C-alpha cells in the first residue's frame, strides 16, 4: 500500500476529530449521562426481581401461617385429654404427640423469625434502590440534556472537520481508507507513522528485509502495534 500526502493530511485532520471526541468523552456531562443510562438499563430488571422476591416472601408467609393453623388445631385436640385418659387412653402416646407438636411449633417459629428478618432486609434494600432509581432518573434527564447541549456546541466544528475529511477521502484509494477506518475503530492512533531509524513508534525494530518493502513510499503493517509504517 502506498502512502500519500493526502492520506497523511487526512490523518492530521482526523487527529482533530479524535481530540474533539476524547474531549467530549472525558466530559462530566457524558460521564454522568452514561452512568445514569447504564443504571436505567438494568434498573427495571432489578425492580422486577425484587417484586418477584416479595411475592415469594408472601407465599412463604402464607405457608407458615397455614402450618401454624394446622399445629394449633392439633394442639386443640388435647383439650379433652383428661376425658380420654379416664377412658384408658395411652398417656405415652399423647405425650409423644405433644412433644412432636411442640418441636414443630418451635421450628415454624424459627422459620417465621428468619422470614421476618429477610423480608425486612429485602424491604430496606428495595426502598434504597427505589430512591436511587428516582435519583438516577433525574440525573439521566438532566445530563442527557447537558450532554446533547455539549455535542451541539461542537456541531459546527465537527461539520467543518467532516467536510475536510470527505474532500481528502476522494483523493485516497478506497481500499486504503477501508484499512485506515478498520484500524481507527480498533482505537489505533496515529495509524500511519514514519519509520524512526530502524524502529516503529511502538519500539518494534524493522529488519532490513522489511525495511526494503518500504521502498517507493510503500507502507508495511507493524507486527507489534499494527500501525501502517512508511519511510519518510
CATH (domain of 39): 1.10.287.1490
Q: For the chain, what is the domain count?
A: 1
Give the cell for residue 66.
397455614
List, for residues 7-62, the tens digit of each pLDDT value: 999 999 999 999 999 999 999 999 999 999 999 888 888 878 877 888 887 888 88
Q: Residue 36 is part of which domain span?
A: 5-189
Residue at 229 is within a domain: no
Residue at 195 is within a domain: no
CA dist 52 and 46 (Å) reads: 10
Residue at 169 is within a domain: yes
Q: Provide the angle, in degrees to the nearest 10, between the axes of the packed helices 91-153 and 28-76.
A: 170
pTM of the predicted model as reported, rounded to 2 decimal places: 0.68
CA dist 84 and 27 (Å) reads: 84
Residue at 215 is within a domain: no
Residue at 173 is within a domain: yes
CB atoms within 10 A of CB 30: 18
List, for residues 70-114, the tens digit of each pLDDT value: 777 777 666 555 555 555 555 566 667 767 777 887 887 788 888
CA dist 70 and 195 (Å) reads: 87
Residue at 72 is within a domain: yes
Residue at 61 is within a domain: yes
The SS3 assignment for 88 reads coil
Residue at 139 is within a domain: yes
Give the cell for residue 7.
492520506
Adjacent-strand bridge partners of 220? 229
Amino acid at each position: 500500500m502506498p502512502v500519500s500526502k493526502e492520506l497523511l493530511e487526512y490523518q492530521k485532520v482526523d487527529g482533530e476529530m479524535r481530540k474533539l471526541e476524547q474531549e467530549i468523552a472525558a466530559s462530566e456531562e457524558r460521564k454522568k449521562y452514561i452512568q445514569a443510562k447504564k443504571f436505567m438499563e438494568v434498573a427495571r430488571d432489578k425492580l422486577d426481581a425484587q417484586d418477584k422476591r416479595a411475592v415469594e416472601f408472601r407465599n412463604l408467609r402464607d405457608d407458615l401461617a397455614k402450618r401454624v393453623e394446622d399445629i394449633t388445631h392439633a394442639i386443640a385436640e388435647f383439650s379433652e385429654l383428661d376425658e380420654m385418659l379416664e377412658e384408658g387412653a395411652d398417656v405415652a402416646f399423647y405425650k409423644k404427640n405433644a412433644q412432636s407438636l411442640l418441636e414443630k411449633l418451635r421450628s415454624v417459629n424459627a422459620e417465621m423469625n428468619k422470614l421476618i428478618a429477610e423480608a425486612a432486609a429485602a424491604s430496606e434494600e428495595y426502598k434504597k434502590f427505589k430512591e436511587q432509581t428516582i435519583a438516577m432518573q433525574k440525573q439521566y434527564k438532566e445530563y442527557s440534556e447537558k450532554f446533547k447541549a455539549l455535542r451541539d456546541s461542537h456541531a459546527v466544528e465537527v461539520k467543518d472537520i467532516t467536510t475536510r475529511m470527505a474532500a481528502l477521502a476522494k483523493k485516497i484509494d478506497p481500499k486504503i481508507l477501508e484499512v485506515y477506518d478498520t484500524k481507527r475503530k480498533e482505537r489505533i492512533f496515529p495509524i500511519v507513522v514514519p519509520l524512526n531509524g530502524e524502529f516503529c513508534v511502538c519500539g518494534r525494530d524493522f529488519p532490513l528485509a522489511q525495511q526494503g518493502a518500504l521502498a517507493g513510499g510503500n507502507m508495511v503493517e507493524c507486527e507489534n502495534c499494527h500501525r501502517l509504517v512508511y519511510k519518510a
